Structure 1
Amino acid sequence: MSNFFYTDSDIKNLDRRVRLKLINAVTGIKPGNLVGSMNSKGQTNLSVFSSVVHLGSDPALLGMIMRPVEEVPRHTYQNILETGYYTINHIHPTFVENAHYTSAKFDESISEFDRCGLTAEFLENFDAPFVKESTFKMGMQFLQQIEIPQNKTRLIIGEVKVLVLPEEARVDGDIDLEQSRSIGISGLNSYYELRKLATFPYARTNEVPDFDNGS
């Protein structure tokens, strides 16, 4: 099998759209989530994110990358700073197309919930809207942001305050994302269903198998 080989100069000289698609895909499959938020006037907002990442379990912290906010209005970002709360909702195959189109640059007065055929749901008096169609969702409290100076993106850090997940996804203490039918994203607009391949025990040095690397 032949391979493409790119140096950093090659990457910098690529057409902007080609480079955008390529570098967005090199990490492999990323989690597909819808982030719900609401401003102090009650206007709801919904946007697709593929950058949510685990930061720690005690306390339960998640991070996500917010694109630069200086030139393009980021309603999700503004709402998070204004209210301090937001939700993270897994995407499922039944509404993957609806989820994708929340990435369009709608005016602030237009709710992506309404325009993209999804339902805002409020749970446990939490001050941000969940996606009713999602069976796996988290209510988040904003803690801090860290700016990445090289490209002006921001790491948004929040703590999980509400967790809702389907019973069938809890298997022997683990979470089975195939059972929850959670969706993954590659690049900017390609969506994948997940299939569980295996479960291995916690890795201890004295229990590592003798792998034959062919040498």
Structure 2
Amino acid sequence: MIYTKTDIAKLDRIMRLKIINAVTGIKPANLIGTVNSTGQTNLAIFSSVVHLGSNPALIGFIARPQTKDVGHTLSNIINNEVYTINHVHPEFIKKAHYTSAKFESHISEFERCKLTEEYIDSFKAPFVKESHFKIGLRFKEAIDIKINGTTLVIGEIEYLKLPDHALNTREIDLETTHSVGISGLNSYYTLKKIETHPYVRINEVPEF
């Protein structure tokens, strides 16, 4: 099956969303936890989290255009400057998925979707207790993407918690963390490690 730019433009909105959201392959499933200045928590699922650099340790994600119905995550981050990213695991996929509903700002997705707020040390944003792979970040920069109104949100890691058994020979084995991935809008996948190869040096490239 082939789609040209014209064909894609003619697709109905939902079909276009499902196809274009899936063409990049399986992406990480993460819950982003925030809190506003009055203590109201917010939790939302994202599939756009991406590594941006290791020194400093930067992670980015794409926030959708803000409207009266959506955008609580971004506004909370800008106001409070801290937030959490929590891996999704098979035992709470359904609860995580339904955090994507357009709840009003006074409703906490933690409470509505029966996930547990967890505060660690003095970090002032809520983690997801059910997740065993958690990242606490401090907001650094927001870059507006003018072509579609989205925003690239960049944060620096200040806290990282992962299972001890997941760090194997100086690498994280995501299969052992039971973290899951997303394709499209609503399909979830488990992760299975297939192969591991060494860091590539030009003089070590094999003859294929």
Q: TM-score, normalised by structure 1?
A: 0.95
Indicate which of 193, 196, 210 corresponds to 2:207: 210
Question: Once the 2 structures are TM-superposed, how far is the Cα of residue 74 of structure 1 from its aligned partner?
Answer: 1.1
Indicate which of 10, 23, 28 corresponds to 1:26: 23
Letter paired with 1:144:
E
| SS of structure 1 residue aligned to 2:136 | strand
Question: Once the 2 structures are TM-superposed, how far is the Cα of residue 70 of structure 1 from its aligned partner?
Answer: 4.2
Indicate which of 116, 131, 136 corresponds to 1:139: 136
Question: Taking every aligned residue pair, what percent have the same amino acid on both sides?
Answer: 59
Superposed, which structure 2 residues align to 1:108-147 within 5 Å?
108-147=105-144
- Separation of aligned partners in 2, 1:26 and 1:188: 11
| SS of structure 1 residue aligned to 2:175 | coil
| SS of structure 1 residue aligned to 2:91 | helix
The gaps in structure 2 that reach 5 residues or longer are none
Q: TM-score, normalised by structure 2?
A: 0.98
| SS of structure 1 residue aligned to 2:73 | helix
| SS of structure 1 residue aligned to 2:159 | strand
Indicate which of 144, 160, 164 corresponds to 1:163: 160
Q: Which has the larger radius of gyration?
A: 1
- Separation of aligned partners in 2, 1:71 and 1:113: 20
- Separation of aligned partners in 1, 2:3 and 2:104: 39
Equivalence for 1:189: 186
Indicate which of 35, 41, 46 corresponds to 2:32: 35
Q: Please state if 1:44 is matched with 2:35.
A: no
| SS of structure 2 residue aligned to 1:140 | strand
**Is the 2:175–2:191 contact (alpha carbons within 8 Å) kept by the matching residues of 1?**
yes
Indicate which of 167, 170, 175 corresponds to 1:173: 170
- Separation of aligned partners in 2, 1:196 and 1:17: 32
Equivalence for 2:66: 69
Equivalences, count: 208
Letter paired with 1:199:
T
Equivalence for 2:5: 8
Equivalence for 1:91: 88
Q: What are the superposed Cα offsets for residues 118-140 of structure 1, whole Å, 9 maximum, x if unpaired?
A: 10000011010000000001001
RMSD: 0.9
